[in-house]
Amino acid sequence: MSDIKPVSQTHVITASCPSQPGTVDVVTRFLFEQGFYINEIHSFDDTDQDRFFIRIEFRADTATNFNRDDFCQQFGERASEFEMKWELASSPYKSKVVIMVSKHDHCLNDLLYRYRTGDLNIEIPAIISNHPDLEDLAKWHDIPYYHLPITKETKPEQEAKVFQIIQDSEADLVVLARYMQVLSSDMCKKLSGKAINIHHSLLPGFKGARPYYQAYDRGIKLVGATAHYVSDDLDEGPIISQGVETVDHSYYPQDLAAKGRDIECLTLARAVRCHIEHRIFLHGKKSVVFAK
């Protein structure tokens, strides 16, 4: 049995297409014919929207030499008959994640810990902030820190710089780790499906500003956070993960914020992990997440 033990390189193929017979077969047969071993397979068929989603982790047998170009060309031909949108990701690869942050550093600190210990298999080519406060933290991790303050007047110009940094660093993902500026509609479109925001409420409750104060005024008994893809429509992007904890009347807004910090960290980290492990599909205004 030793010949099928995991080897270092594993791959993930994700694919979606209109529902029709043969959608699983076209992928699994190809992998078998090419001599790959399937570690895990998970599919979902949305019977409302007639759309099919599949995620497969697989690996080569030791003898096989993986040729990415050949794979993509050959599989692409078969997939096109199904109008399949698909992607292939191969490990070991560290996703490049640009983090944007303002003054609250709990999510940043949490992501940096997971980065430096390898809990999240990522590189962080840049941290961008509209405030100078968190430069020391970035420095201690040897990560470039870009301080780009934003006023109403400078917003277009500064956002252009932000986008330039994202492009230059070839970011796979942008994480808004409590970045308290609303991105322009244009920026949202450019980053569609590539930017995750953490909102400190259980959306759709308490959209917009100061959600912990809104939650306090409403007298909620559960406080939560929501990680979602950024979209043009504020706090309306596809939800990836949500977290929650019990509270009571004795929680003032600052107490909700304190409890919320832990929830935000965990909820955002889970979303980032799902993204870099290619577990998420955008699906209209929603997401399909094959979570571990």
Active site positions, annotated: 235
**Taking Cα atoms as reference points, which of 235, 207, 201, 229 lies closest to residue 288?**
229
Q: How big is the chain, counted in residues?
A: 292
Task: State the angle between helix axes of 23-33 and 68-80 in degrees (0 to 180), rounded to the nearest 10.
Answer: 150
Q: Which is nearer to a copy of itself, 165 or 256 (CB)?
A: 256
Pick the binder of a copy of itself from 74, 109, 184, 192 (CB under 8 A): 109
264: nearest Cα among 244, 283, 247, 237 = 244
- Residue 214: CB minimum distance to a copy of itself, A: 8
161 is a contact residue toward a copy of itself (CB under 8 A): no
Q: Nearest 5 degrees, angle CA 9-CA 14-CA 16?
A: 165
Query: CA-CA distance, 91 to 39, in Å (whole number)?
Result: 14
Residue 66 touching a copy of itself (CB under 8 A)? no
Q: Does 105 bind a copy of itself (CB under 8 A)?
A: yes
Q: If binding is defined by CB under 8 A, does position 208 make contact with a copy of itself?
A: no
Number of residues that bind a copy of itself (CB under 8 A): 77
Measured from the CB atom, the residue of 114 and 155 that comes closer to a copy of itself is 114
**SS3 category, 159:** helix
Give whichever of 181 and 287 is closer to a copy of itself, judged by the CB atom.
287
Q: Applying CB under 8 A, which of residues 95, 102, 130, 287 lies at the interface with a copy of itself?
A: 287
Please answer whether residues 222 and 197 qualify as being in contact, where contact means their C-beta atoms are separated by less than 8 angstroms.
no
**Which one of 77, 119, 170, 186 is in contact with a copy of itself (CB under 8 A)?**
119
Examine residue 38 and tell whether it contacts a copy of itself (CB under 8 A): yes
Report in angstroms how near the CB of residue 125 gets to a copy of itself at its nearest.
Answer: 22
184 belongs to the binding site for a copy of itself (CB under 8 A): no
CB within 8 Å of 15: residues ≥ 6 apart: 27, 53, 54, 79, 84, 85, 86, 87
Interaction of residue 224 with a copy of itself, rule CB under 8 A: yes
Q: According to the binding rule CB under 8 A, does residue 234 interact with a copy of itself? A: no
Residue for token digits 């308490």?
206
Binding mask 12-31 for a copy of itself (x = CB under 8 A): ------xxxxxxxx--xx-x
- The reply on whether position 115 binds a copy of itself by CB under 8 A is no
Question: Distance (Å, rounded) from C-alpha 117 to C-alpha 114?
Answer: 5
Q: Using the rule CB under 8 A, which residue among 50, 70, 83, 170 binds a copy of itself?
A: 50
Asked if 88 interacts with a copy of itself (CB under 8 A), we say: no
Would you say 46 and 17 are in contact if contact means Cβ atoms under 8 Å apart?
A: no
Q: Does 151 bind a copy of itself (CB under 8 A)?
A: no
Q: Is 283 in the site for a copy of itself (CB under 8 A)?
A: yes
User: Would you say 151 or 250 has its CB closer to a copy of itself?
Assistant: 250
If binding is defined by CB under 8 A, does position 232 make contact with a copy of itself? no
> Please, is 218 exposed, middle or buried when counting C-beta atoms within 10 Å of its C-beta (0-12, 13-18, 19+)?
exposed
How many Å apart are CA 17 and CA 275, to the nearest integer?
20
Residue 134 sits at φ, ψ, to 5 deg, of -100, 20
Residue with tokens 């479109």: 189
Name beta bridge partners: 243: 225
Q: Which residues in the 236-275 window bind a copy of itself by CB under 8 A?
A: 238-244, 246, 248-250, 252, 255, 258, 261-262, 266
